[in-house]
Amino acid sequence: MTRPVLRIGVMELRRRPGTQRDVHVATVLPGLGITGAKVVDDEELEVDAVLESIEGGITASGTVRVPWTAECRRCLGPVGGVLEVELSEVFEPHPVEGETYPIEGDEIDLEPLVRDAALLNLPLAPLCRPDCPGPAPDSFPTTPVDEATEAEAPRDPRWAALDELRLDG
């Protein structure tokens, strides 16, 4: 049975507080996305972190680089890039929900940390460029309005009294 790439053994770190270990991992995490932006499913994301043993836990600090793609919120053209997120988190045997991550036996799982970092930092309403004017009006056909049809629309009877109103003295 193979161990998932983002599960890291920390037995040696836990034995000696103050020791550090560099972690460099590249993996694919499909299915990450919010509203219109998503992590590119078949491209690798990279984790560069330093794990450090502290009393009662492990700290993870470093960066996650995540390729993402989306549609521009104005012109709907493709937009994307590489998101670089700084990490600084704590793993402990008895985690506090929403504040720390768990140490499970002698391993930590970086996947929840990476997922949280990626999803919380994906752009909610990306633009292809800051001055994007939106769609080109000429590229969308419009249906001409028939003026005769518009003139023959039935009138609201509540306004009939105004037809008799004369303002010329």
85-135 pLDDT per residue, tens:
999 999 999 999 989 999 998 899 999 999 999 999 999 889 999 888 877
pLDDT at 34 over 90: no
pLDDT in the model for residue 53 = 93
pLDDT tens-digit map of 44-97: 999 999 999 998 899 999 999 999 999 998 888 999 999 999 999 999 999 999
Q: Report residue 151's pLDDT band, with 50, 70 and 90 as the boundaries.
A: low
Phi first, then psi, for residue 26 (nearest 5°) are: -125, 125
Cβ–Cβ < 8 Å for 53, 43: no
Strands of the chain (E only): list them. 7-9, 20-27, 33-34, 37-39, 45-54, 57-71, 78-92, 101-104, 107-109
Evaluate the CA torsion angle 6, 20, 17, 118 in order and state its sign: negative
